Amino acid sequence: MTRLDLRDLPAPEPLLQALAAADALQPGQTVEVLTPVLPAPLLEALALRGLHWRAEPCSDGGTCVAILCPNG
């Protein structure tokens, strides 16, 4: 699984990079992105793309979002 730490980037870079990583996923693949806050616009965009996600607080600050491209 790929992990991208986007917490130190200025807006809108975390959103743009997370979406680029999500769009590159193949069925069954997962990418994990670390963002400075709960990324509501990202979560909405992922849902519109048919991708699954799980968000939880990171132990060292920010939010960890796991993005999964479902199989077929």
Domain count, the chain: 1
pLDDT digits (tens, 9 = 90+) for 35-69: 999 999 999 999 999 999 999 999 999 999 999 99
Residues 13-39, mean pLDDT to the nearest whole number = 96
Q: Which helix (H) or strand (E) holds 51?
A: none
Residues 6-12, mean pLDDT to the nearest whole number = 94
Chain CA centroid to CA 10, Å: 16
**33's tokens:** 């992105």
Q: Which domain holds residue 17?
A: 2-68
Q: Distance between CA atoms of 68 and 70, rounded to whole angstroms?
A: 6
What's the whole-number average pLDDT of the chain?
95
Q: With bands split at pLDDT 50, 70 and 90, how would you rate the model's confidence at 1?
A: confident
**Tell me, what CATH number does 16's domain have?**
3.30.110.40
Position 46 scores a pLDDT of 97
